[in-house]
Amino acid sequence: MSAADDGQSDPSAAAGAAPPKRLADDCFTLPPGVDWMPVDEALARLEAALRPCAGVERLDLAAAAGRILAEDAAAARAHPACDNAAVDGYAFAHPGLGADRECDFALAPGRAAPGAPWRARLPGGQALRILTGAAMPDGADTVVLQEDAALFGEGDAAGARRVQFRAPAKPGANRRRAGENLAIGDVALRAGARLTPQALGHLAAAGLPAAPVRRKLRVALFSTGDELIAPGEAGRPDQVVDSNRPMLAALLGAPWIEAVDFGRVPDRREAVEAALTEGAKRADAVIASGGASGGEEDHMGAALEASAAAGDAFHLWRIAMKPGRPMAMGLRRGAPVFGLPGNPVAAFVCFLIFVRPALLRLAGGPFAPARPVRVVSGFDYPKKPGRREYLRVRIGADGRLEKYRSEGSGLIEGLVWSDGLADLPHAAGPLRAGEPVAYLSYAALGIAP
């Protein structure tokens, strides 16, 4: 059975239900003969395998920023709830087409202000002072801008004032219609939507004080490698600072994720197995870096293979991409495990391209890899067909892409130098300066500035 056909792939379907089941055992299985997998195929396989597994809670809007909506949200109130003025001016009943030069009205006493409507019916031939956002008085359908009106007649014998319009107004001008933003019952936001600042404003306008949101996805994180030391620790020159963990922990710093730090794990099969077991027990998904390539000290693969023997599923996905390549995909007790390469640049790129969309889907959002924009390349690059390449680039002062000086997978400095990745297609050959390139800004890849 594929994970997608058990009826839980729709984020709205799981809303309010018991905690969703975990993934099917075979969801990361590759058909026989699949070797180096193109990135798009790996993404399609991930999309087919994953479904939301985070439960649902109801939060006040003030606490819901950045979370993922669990059910469609229908407007409880129309917005606006009545016709109202879009400008400061004078409201009146338009005499009709062809009569728009009739521009001299008796001024009705009083005014309509926001929160203080004018309660009577406005007789034909009269105009009423009205302020932006005030309810349109009964009988009026049009507002003329105050800059286009002149008052006169002040202090005449009857004490009456008149208002004259300098410019003709179209019937219905400067009137906001009730429900033009939302009618009662309209779906204001769909399940799976991120509660951005603007989405929260929209829900509030829809008369909704709280929202059903997905619980935070719990993600366990650890690094593997006997060579690793903590930042600042006095180590031998052959030892390597664990830079992946703070970087990945920060990448997991989204409001819809709760990261659980499992620290550093030595290159011992039992230690990696114990970390996987504990991670799967305490979290919805597990992310590890290092040890995924299948070498003799690559115990992620071995541990996942052992769990495969015990009934879990494990697969080493060799992905035709640079940087990156082998990524371990597995299930430990039904929890997805993402084994990232140890090289910091490869770990960073594989996280952004595969793991972040996967986590967002598990958390109840859409599986939506970042969409690139086209930018002109300012450099030549000897791309070889047959693998996808992601280059560290930035947009230069002339608006063209500049490339970092090296493709070295350990050069973290290039991740700081760059503001995004150039995404060179699987089949593409050499790139020439002046040609357009797909550019993924780090912001589009989900990294907040």
Q: Is 89 in a helix, a strand, or coil?
A: strand
Strand partners, 286: 220, 337
> Quick one: 290 or 339, whose CB is closer to Mg ion?
290
Q: Determine which residue in the list 240, 308, 411, 438 makes contact with ligand AMP, applying CB under 6 A.
A: 240
CA 327 to chain centre: 24
Q: How far is CA 355 from CA 82, 340, 371, in A?
A: 46, 9, 16
Smallest CA-to-CA distance from 126 within 148, 147, 145, 111 is with 111
Are 223 and 290 contacting, i.e. CB atoms less than 8 angstroms apart? yes
Residue 243 in contact with ligand AMP, rule: CB under 6 A: yes
CB 380, min distance to ligand AMP, A: 29
Q: Is 313 in a helix, a strand, or coil?
A: coil
Residue 342 in contact with ligand AMP, rule: CB under 6 A: yes
> Quick one: 11 or 290, whose CB is closer to ligand AMP?
290
> Quick one: 153 or 410, whose CB is closer to Mg ion?
410
Residue 341 in contact with ligand AMP, rule: CB under 6 A: yes
Count CA atoms within 13 Å of residue 78 on its CB side.
11
For the segment 200-239, give every residue that binds ligand AMP (CB under 6 A).
223, 225, 227-228
Smallest CA-to-CA distance from 274 within 246, 237, 254, 299 is with 299
Q: What are phi and psi of 311, to 5 degrees?
A: 110, -10
Which range of residues in 141-149, 184-192, 335-343, 425-433 is near ligand AMP by CB under 6 A?
335-343
Rounded to whole angstroms, the Cα distance separating 196 from 199 reads 5
Q: Determine which residue in the list 84, 174, 244, 377 makes contact with ligand AMP, applying CB under 6 A.
A: 244
Contacting residues toward Mg ion, per CB under 5 A:
225, 290-291, 342
Q: Could you tell me where the DSSP H helices lie in 11-106?
A: 39-49
Q: Determine which residue in the list 84, 307, 343, 441 makes contact with ligand AMP, applying CB under 6 A.
A: 343
For the segment 402-441, give every residue that binds ligand AMP (CB under 6 A).
none
> Quick one: 126 or 244, whose CB is closer to ligand AMP?
244
Count the site residues for ligand AMP by CB under 6 A. 18
Region of 148 (left: φ > 0; alpha: ψ -120 to 50; beta: rest) is alpha
CB 33, min distance to ligand AMP, A: 26
From residue 290 to residue 319, the character string flagging contacts with ligand AMP as x (rule: CB under 6 A) and all else as - is: xxxx--------------------------
Strands 314-319 and 326-332: antiparallel
CB 297, min distance to Mg ion, A: 6
Q: Which residue shows structure tokens 């180590």?
A: 235
> Quick one: 291 or 364, whose CB is closer to Mg ion?
291
Residues that bind ligand AMP in the complex, under the rule CB under 6 A: 223, 225, 227-228, 240, 242-245, 289-293, 341-344
